[in-house]
Chain A
Amino acid sequence: MARLSDDAQWIVMMGFVVSFSFFFLAMILNQSTVVGQTSAESVLDFPKNDIRDVRSVIIQSTSLVPVNITAAHGLILQNDIETISLMRKNAIVTYSVEWPAPPVTETFVNIHYNNGVTAYNETWQSL
Chain B
Amino acid sequence: MTSYDKGTRRVITAGWLLAITLLLTLTRTGMIPVPTPAANATVSHIPAIIGGILEGPIVGLVIGLGFGFASFMSATIPLFKDPLVAVLPRLFIGVTAALSYAALQRASKRTLAVMVAIVLLFLLAFSYEVSKTIAWLGPIIAIISVAGAAFIYWWMRREDVRIVGLAVAAGVGSLTNTVLVLSVAVLRGYLSSEAAWGIGLTHGVPEVIVAAVVTVAVVAALRQIGSRRGSRL
Are A and B part of the same complex? no
Give the B-binding residues of A (Cβ under 8 A). Answer: none
Give the A-binding residues of B (Cβ under 8 A). Answer: none
